[in-house]
Structures are given as C-alpha cells and as structure tokens.
Amino acid sequence: MFTLKRINPVSIRSCIQFASRTCASSIAHEKKLTPEITNKSNLTKYLTGYQRFHNHYFKENPEIYNKLQNSQHPSSVIIGCSDSRVDPAIITDAKPGDLFVVRNVANLVGPYVNDGGHHGTATAIEYAVKVLKVKNIIVLGHSKCGGIQGLMDGNASQFDFVGDWMNIAQNAKTITLEEHPDAPREVQLRACEHNSILESLKNLLTYPWIVERLEDKSLSISGWYFDFDQGELLVYDGELEQFVGVHELNQRVDPAIITDCDPGDIFVVRNVANLVAPYKPGNFTEKGHHGTASALEYAVKVLKVESIVILGHSKCGGIDALMRDTAHNFEFLGPWVDIGQKAKEKTLKYYSGKPLEIQIRACEKASILQSLENLLSYPWIVDRLRQGIISINGWYFDFETGRLSAYDPDTCQFELLDTEKAEERLRQLSTRKSEVENFQIEPEDEVGSKLKLLSSNSRPSTLGV
C-alpha cells in the first residue's frame, strides 16, 4: 500500500504562416495590418536558434542522434509545467533521449478516469510506463506558477478549459487554506504549489499499472520543486514530510534544445504525438480534464502569445501506434491518438500500397495539419487570427538529418528552414495575410513531401462567417 502524507511547507510572426489570412474579404478591407502588428510576432529568434543547434549541437554529437533515430529509452518521465521559464531539460542539463517530458498548466496529474475521453497527460504517462518502461516518474512544480495563482485567487473558472483543469488541485487549495488561513498571499501560493505536487503524486497512485510497477519496485515516483528566486531544486522527502534542497542528484525532441532558446522564450505543451483535439463547445465541462486545451487557452488569453507552433517529428511512436492499429491495446493511448484518425484515413487513401514506413512518415506530417485544422475550431484563436495578432504554424523535425522544416501553404509542402534564405523567407511571409482554407492530402510521388491545402468555396463553420 502506498500513501503520501500531507506536506506543511515552512516556508514562431509565423516562420511559415499557415492561417493568418482574414476569414472574409470584407475583414481584409476593414482592417489592414500595421507594421507594428505584422512585425510584432517574430519567430526569427527560434529559427536562428535552430540553425545554431543544427550547425553545432547536431553535427557535433552524431553519436546521440544516430542512437535515437529508431528508438528511445528514457529512464524517467517528467510531468512539468508549460511555463516558459521552467524547462526540465535545461534545469537537469539532460541530453536528447534522457527524459520523456509531459507539460501542462501547473504540472498536474488528474486521477485515473477511463471514460474514453482525450486525456493527454494520462496518455503520455501510460505510454512512458507501459511502452518505454521508464523507471522514474517525476512531478516537477515551480514557484511563481500562474495556474496555482489562478486557483488560489479564484479566477481560473472564467476560462473555457483552465478552470476545469485546475480543479484537479482543488484539494491542494483546501489543505493550504486550512493550514495557512492567515498567512501572507506569497506564503499561501508557495504552500499550494507544494501541495499540488503532492496531490498529483497521490493521483498517480490511482493508476493500477503504476501501482503494480511500484509494488514490484521497478518504478518510483517523486515530487520536485524549482525555486526561481534561488535557482534551487527541492525534492520532497517522505520521511521529513517536506521539500528539501539538493545540490547533487543520484527525450528525443525538446523544443528548447532544437531552437536553442533561453528560459522564458517558449511556453511549451507536450503530449503524445503533438496532437490538438478539436474544440467541443458544451462538452468540455462534461467529461475529462483537457490539459492541452487548458495550456493553449492560458497561453493565448493570459500570456497573449503571438505564434502557435505544432512541432511534429519523425519516428513518432504515437503515430506509429495509430498506423499499426496497436494504440487501442492501451486505456488512454487509443482514444488520444484517435484525434489523428482523419490524418490516418487520408494517408491510407493517397498512399495506398506504399511501404508502411512511408505511410507513417506521411501521417506524421498529415497529423500536424490535422492539429492545425483543429486549432481553427477554437473561437478565441480564430478571433486573434482574424485580427492578425496571432499565427499558427506547422513544423517537422527529422531525426536522421537533423533538419527542421515548416509547412508553407503557397508551395503546399514542408520546406527546410536551415538555409541562408530562410530568414528572408520568414520576413516575406510575416507581413502577409492568407485565407483560412480546408486541409486535404493530395497524392505525391515523394515520401509525404507535399500535403496539399486545397481552396474551398465554403469556409469552416467555426469561423462564423
């Protein structure tokens, strides 16, 4: 039997712009992009960082990427926060392939609920435990957490997804207020950040296949806390029942590594197969905790990000399971990768008879476009697209070559971005609006090189035009 005692704490404008055209010509005439708006969103920094990564890190470490081309064997899975200031790979100085990382708002894990819904965090944990056979699960929280602040202030419920998501930590808030009723706000926030980590650890114990691994001692679970003020990592000590400081402690695709960015640059959401489910008005409060949607909503509405990037990659285990029909052997993985079912259907239609490896690669790119299309079902994303103050983008990283490509709706293909002309190409595209259109795959001779974006007389109904 595993128990956890309660703690009493003492204390990027798009690189290849996909959908920034106005939804109707009347809107284009009504509002013209000003230089301040069109140049405000700039992904050049990440593109330049990618070039540094490819020219130095990738080329200077061939043994790492040669080993990772066909498989990954991370020893640990980290459930971290999407906060741009807390990147698990940077904090732990990990190399690609070391960590399997899940990121969501406030690094939360909901209790075990197998209801057939889209449970991104649970899916990633299941994949890590059952397929990758990780030996450690780490819940990594941090100070100054916006999600916990919203929970404590009671304003998380004003959002479509964030309120429901943060309810996972409601018990942590209750415990915090019981133990620190008159404490200053900063003390209460820090206490709730600690307690929410413990709440997620307790929720992990509701997953039968985690408990089974814990009982045979082939798996451990831990709670970590990163303190911004001191730059210190704290680890929960079950015997002392508190977080204690440590100065020495006994993934293949990390956006921060690939783009060579600094802490604070990127707000990252991570899940299996980089999927985004469609917005379902009226249903999101009825079933499931929508971690990915919550993180998107927080990034768009609170942080007011200027670009959304869907970053896919080759050798994706989630897409492999989707194409091989093995995903439904799992409780959460099957319903989750079904988000990419349309991409699979189109891949099989246009790549019928092709080797499975070619089909998988095509589906990896098609699923990026599927997630981009699903983003267009979120009204608050569409609203910002129509105003020209946000862009959505599809990127693809190839392990074998270390190349990053981005989807260009003009050429209808993923184009390499590590050329001398890439930055100039970015500037050309960043000042242009384009019409939101429907996705559809067209057959191509080369392996998944072109995924067509076909014009349509009828625009998506979610645009309300």
- H helix intervals, 376-447: 379-387, 422-430
* Closest of 243, 246, 221 to residue 231, by C-alpha: 246
- The one-letter amino acid at 175: I
C-alpha closest to that of 165 among 43, 56, 48, 293: 293
The C-alpha atoms of residue 313 and residue 68 are separated, in whole angstroms, by 12
* Residue 241 burial (CB count, 10 A): 14
Alpha carbon distance 105, 84 (integer Å)? 11
At 453 the three-state DSSP class reads: strand
Token pair recorded at residue 318: 């989630």
From CA 77, how far away is CA 132, in angstroms rounded?
Answer: 9
Distance CA 105, CA 145 (A): 9
**Who contacts 65 (Cβ-Cβ below 8 Å, separation ≥6)?**
58, 96, 399, 400, 402
For residues 435 and 446, is the Cβ–Cβ distance under 8 A?
no
Sheet-wide strand order for 413-416: 307-313, 391-398, 403-408, 413-416
Among 269, 280, 318, CA closest to 117:
280
Residue from 331, 309, 333 nearest 320 by CA:
333
Q: Is 81 marked as binding a ligand?
A: yes
- For the chain, first and last CA: distance in Å? 57
Report CA-CA distances (Å) from 124 to 27, 76, 105, 385: 41, 12, 15, 30
CA distance 195 to 108: 11
How far apart, in whole angstroms, are the C-alpha atoms of residue 308 and residue 269?
11
3-state secondary structure of 407: strand
Instruction: Find the length of the chain.
Output: 465
Question: How many Cβ atoms sit within 10 Å of the Cβ of residue 190?
Answer: 24
Please indicate if the annotation marks 83 as binding a ligand: yes
* Sign of CA pseudo-dihedral 323, 396, 136, 229: negative
Q: Which residues are annotated as a binding site for Zn(2+)?
A: 81, 83, 142, 145
| Annotated binding residues | 81, 83, 142, 145
